[in-house]
Amino acid sequence: MPLTRADLLDRLSQLGIDTTTTDHPAVFTVGESEELHDQIPGGHSKNLFLKDKKDRVFLVTVLADATVDLKKIHTLIGAQGRVSFGKPDLLMELLGVEPGSVTPFGIVNDREGRVSVILDAALMAHDVVNFHPLENTATTSIASQDMVRFLTEEGHPPKILAVTDEAIAAGL
């Protein structure tokens, strides 16, 4: 049984990580969440749940309005050949979330360590970053360095790479 939002927030508290969670109507796409960006400070994210031809799984997290070239991202993240989007059943199995709720916080449910986490350098340039807390009816704000610490504590030390067109152009 996947962990819940309450379980996640308890885990963050146990680690001494301060967060702020804002409840809102369910949002399933970045477009639907745009009005929240003005209400909640910090970098807002979109999350790509990808797998390569050898069934390696990647969670790539970038700024909500960033451009990602899916034809060449595999060369940046270390995938074996081109990547495709992971299916909803694999998403639920590994991260314990449904499409529309994809979040790096889902790592708490990947006990076998199958998912490699990639955080875009442009997103991590923000002091505060925002993600769904395992459900798309809320947004949790967390210091970017605390997110790195959380992922590392959960056995998924992230790679911070320039994977978006914007981060690459900025030389991040």
pLDDT in tens, the chain (172 residues): 899 999 999 999 999 999 999 999 887 777 767 777 778 999 999 999 999 999 999 999 999 999 999 999 999 999 999 999 999 999 999 999 999 999 999 999 999 999 999 999 999 999 999 999 999 999 999 999 999 999 999 999 999 999 999 999 988 8
Per the DSSP assignment, residues forming a β-bridge with 139 are 22
Per the DSSP assignment, residues forming a β-bridge with 96 are none
Residue of 1, 23, 11, 12 whose CA lies nearest to 139: 23
Per the DSSP assignment, residues forming a β-bridge with 62 are 46
Domains annotated for the chain, with CATH where assigned, are: 5-17+42-169 (3.90.960.10)
Burial (CB count within 10 angstroms: exposed 0-12, middle 13-18, buried 19+), residue 80:
exposed
Strand, coil or helix: what is 47?
strand
* Backbone angle region of 78, left / alpha / beta, with phi > 0 → left and psi within -120 to 50 → alpha: left
